[in-house]
Amino acid sequence: MNPPRNSTAARDVASVLHPYTELKSHLTKGPVVIARGEGVRVWDDQGKDYIESVAGLWCAALGFSNERLVEAATAQMRRLPFYHAFTAKSYEPLIDLSEMLLERAPPSVDGAPMSKVFFANSGSEANDSAVKMVWYYNNAVGRPRKKKIIARLKGYHGVTVAAASLTGLPNNHRLFDLPIAGVLHTMTPHHYHGAEPGESEEDFATRCAEELEALILREDPETVAAMFAEPIMGAGGVILPPATYFEKIQAVLRKYDVLLVADEVICGFGRTGNYWGSQTYGIQPDILTCAKALSASFLPISAVMVNDRVFQGLAEGSSQVGTFGHGFTYSGHPVSAAVAIETLRIYDEMNLVEHAATVGAHMQAGLRERFAEHPLVGEVRGTGLIAGVELVEDKAARRNFDPARKLGARLMALGEQNGVILRAMPGDSIGFSPPLVITEAEVDEMLDRFGRALDALAVEIR
């Protein structure tokens, strides 16, 4: 059905090129227009309310309203709406936020603290920056061949040219002429699909580490620079690492002097029930990227933290060249930085990490009790306030539905009819990552609405 002429929907169709949307069918289907938000809910322009089960894009950690952040932004706009950090310029919010992140950072390799923070505007830019830093570092320390980057199939690291190359999902490569040369993908550590019958999580993790080592040896360790990994793989389907995975992966990386970049863009700031996903899984990264919840998504900002070994290499390189020739106009934008500072203060004051662990346990139990035995559900997985519910056609064989049937997309549409915005990912997994401020009662309501949508899907496909 075509949206009525001159409606908001028609104007959208006539003017907007939508990210992550099937562009041709959008011309006839049109958008859902979201008009306002409060707490964990948003309202469309017809006044219908939806619980946001993924906090927008895994990001609106404080929900869709917060006066303190409005005030922090307004005050900074009045004081100094823009400045930059090029050519050694600085300003208080930049310094304050860097200190706050370093104080909160997980330990780096061998327990050493993170050393410096670089800012960008998005998770993709943070990861692209991290790739460039790895290359620059290895050139500066005299290892010009050590440049290849390993990521994982189904990993998600963003959409800029290098970040999209790291992303291990077909739709981020198809028709884009990606990945670029020098990016390698190793196996997805998903026990549910990847393990042999009877293989324990620990044995499966050993096999993942062996495959990583074989890849490094095949490529020549002298050419492999870094591995990027999300603590929990988010957009690829909310895939949790099997027990002992990161311990074994890190042993391989250290053996061949390969840097580890933890992509904490989703997992950072409490999502997994600890401040960082790295703490949940014993990861000691050389470099850490974060975004999204850093500012509760009230304004765009992302960060790259580097340990001292990496920083010293970058410093050495910049003295050879004359400058560290990287940075964005809005790297550490003062208004975004002021909002991020206030966000981190609010997280501390609200004990939000603890809240995420407690309410997260309630959400995990609710998802398992209500849906693990549902005829359409193969696996319920997750920890803290992040979870995935995977739809399967054959539970015993763990076989997914034919992608052409678009079960995930149909469930999203039914979710909207039932007042919950859902996120379907490849392999018909539904992601849950609600605002960290969600209460137990709101979790129950979200699961009620999801349950109604899932039952409606079961009827629709019968």
- Summarize as ranges the residues that interact with ligand PLP (CB under 6 A): 57-58, 122-124, 127, 156-158, 230, 234-235, 263, 265-266, 291
**Token reading at 193:** 């699909």
Which of 125/213 has CB closer to ligand PLP?
A: 125
In the complex, the smallest distance separating the C-beta of residue 330 from ligand PLP, rounded to whole angstroms, is: 13
Which of 125/379 has CB closer to ligand PLP?
A: 125
In the 8-state DSSP scheme, what is residue 328? Answer: -
Which of 105/377 has CB closer to ligand PLP?
A: 105
Identify the CA nearest to 31 among candidates 14, 51, 48, 49.
Answer: 14
Which of 19/197 has CB closer to ligand PLP?
A: 19
Cα 124 to Cα 182, 317, 364, 459, distances in angstroms:
18, 24, 29, 39
How many other CB atoms are found less than 10 A from the CB of residue 215? 18
In the complex, the smallest distance separating the C-beta of residue 137 from ligand PLP, rounded to whole angstroms, is: 21
Cα-Cα-Cα-Cα dihedral sign, residues 176, 180, 185, 190? negative
In the complex, the smallest distance separating the C-beta of residue 265 from ligand PLP, rounded to whole angstroms, is: 3
Tell me the sheet residues that pair with 177: none
In the complex, the smallest distance separating the C-beta of residue 453 from ligand PLP, rounded to whole angstroms, is: 23
Which of 291/430 has CB closer to ligand PLP?
A: 291
Residue 196: partners with Cβ closer than 8 Å, 6 or more residues away: 204
Which of 130/392 has CB closer to ligand PLP?
A: 130
Which of 297/307 has CB closer to ligand PLP?
A: 297
Q: Which residue has the tokens 């999502």?
A: 271
How many other CB atoms are found less than 10 A from the CB of residue 131? 26
In the complex, the smallest distance separating the C-beta of residue 16 from ligand PLP, rounded to whole angstroms, is: 18
Q: Is there a cis peptide before residue 93, judged by omega within 30 degrees of 0?
A: no
What is the number of the residue whose Cβ is closest to ligand PLP?
A: 123
Tell me the sheet residues that pair with 317: none
In the complex, the smallest distance separating the C-beta of residue 157 from ligand PLP, rounded to whole angstroms, is: 5
In the complex, the smallest distance separating the C-beta of residue 46 from ligand PLP, rounded to whole angstroms, is: 28
In the complex, the smallest distance separating the C-beta of residue 152 from ligand PLP, rounded to whole angstroms, is: 11
Which of 271/355 has CB closer to ligand PLP?
A: 271
CA pair distance 396, 284, nearest whole angstrom: 37
Sheet holding 183-186, edge to edge: 114-120, 302-307, 287-290, 259-263, 224-229, 148-152, 183-186
Residue 346: partners with Cβ closer than 8 Å, 6 or more residues away: 62, 66, 68, 69, 296, 352
Q: Is 226 helix (H, G, I), strand (E, B) or coil?
A: strand
